[in-house]
Copies of this chain bind each other. A is one copy, B any other.
Amino acid sequence: MQDGKTAARGAARAGSGAGASRSEKLLFLTDEQLRQSAELLFFAYRDFTSDPDEILAARGLGRAHHRALHFIRRRPGITVAGLLEILRVTKQSLNRVLRQLVDEGLVESTEGLQDRRQRNLRLSPAGEALERALSEPQRARLRRAYALAGPEAVAGFRQVLEQMLDGAGRDGVLSMVGSDADERS
């Protein structure tokens, strides 16, 4: 697979023993090769997240707002606590963002039905429109990359990403990512 300066540099063997249980083909990955993967991930994610920035800036919002809009759209009716758990930020930090979104009429916050202490969050039509505009360049980027790389590559891409998740939250993430239940938009 790889050689050249890379292989010359890390004559050190890959530390991943584990035997060839999963596949007959072994992966010999030097630390340097793993660093290259980390770097690739860094650049890809940087480019990916850079897409919506101009739109956000034009409205005086930031990435934190985009994240909130994204997850509220994906889980309409989510509570503040639920959003806190997903985003892993403090309630003070989230509240600052949420307040702006509500004030600008992008997010609707309604009293919980069973528990009136809670707030159920959902996007207003304007919020939906903005979220769509923000995420469209990202979807276009993924669509294009997927088309160029092909179905097997896409399957591998998703498999590796899933395995990279923290074990603790993996089930939660995968159930969310994998739930076709929210196709009802």
Q: Give chain A's interface residues, CB within 8 Å of chain B.
A: 1-7, 9, 11-16, 18, 22-23, 25-27, 29-32, 34-48, 50, 67, 70, 74, 88, 135, 138-139, 141-166, 169, 173-174, 176-185
Contacts and interface: CB of A to CB of B under 8 A. Distances in A.
9 contacts: A4-B180, A16-B144, A16-B147, A22-B151, A29-B142, A37-B158, A40-B158, A45-B45, A153-B159
Nearest to A158: B11
A184 B184 CA distance: 37
A144 B27 CA distance: 11
A19 B163 CA distance: 30
Contacts of A32: 182-183, 185
A159 B16 contact: no
